[in-house]
Amino acid sequence: MMFYTASSQTPHELSSLAETIHGNFVQSISDSARKNRIEVIGTFYEKSKLKNHVYDTSFLTNKFGKIVSTYRKIHLYDALGFKESSKLVAGSKIAKPFNSSIGKIGMLICYDLRFPEMPRILASSGSELLVAPSAWVKGENKEEHWITIVKTRAIENGCYVIAPNQVGNIYCGRSLVVDPLGNILLDMKKKQGLGIVNISLNVVKKTRTALPLLKNRRTDIYPNFKV
């Protein structure tokens, strides 16, 4: 399998490599999911109507090989010397949490993790797990940001965060699974491979009962100041 990065391709090259949700890549993942009776979340560059621009799209296929949820990344990485908006087009909505075999899943992608509003919306809408496939670029403090942000999103929302990250090239690796109390259950370091973690929705329930952050929010008085 060959991996392409939005940073190393011209807008035209990236657009020419993109597929539709019904393309060969997604279909091959769906076929494997059906064959092995598993659920899979994957990402790919999806064709868009905007010339030389693509979506960064996440999809969830069930154990029957059916695509049951899709999400197009809404926060583009126009920061720290990168400008994703020159090649990517932003999605326009957050995907509704999906009730999978291991719990309700909320989908994010990479840079979305830096915006606490989105994980909070997903958690307050019922998500027990947040899944954030990423291509987190390495650099000064970037690996520390990655670990801190993934742990914070788990703690503040009382949920699991599953955050696979690319290795090699310009990426920092460190694929993580963090539990609702911020404990790192899996850290792949710089390795590429398969990690297995046990997920317990009872841990989510107990954590949210003992530390009811979602319940204790004061949305009735939070202001929306206009200046």
In the chain, what are the domain boundaries? 7-93, 94-216
What percentage of the chain carries pLDDT values higher than 90?
93
- Which whole number is the average pLDDT over 158-166? 98
Stretch 44-54: mean pLDDT = 96
Rounded to the nearest integer, the mean pLDDT of the chain is 94
Is the dihedral angle over the CA atoms 122, 127, 130, 133 positive or is it negative? Answer: negative
Residue 46 CA to residue 67 CA, distance in Å, equals: 14
User: Is the model's pLDDT at 4 over the cut of 50?
Assistant: no
Name the β-bridge partners of 104: 99
pLDDT tens track for 104-143: 999 999 999 999 999 999 999 999 999 999 999 999 999 9
pTM: predicted TM-score of the whole model, two decimal places: 0.92
CATH class (in words) of the domain with range 94-216: alpha beta
pLDDT at 60: 98
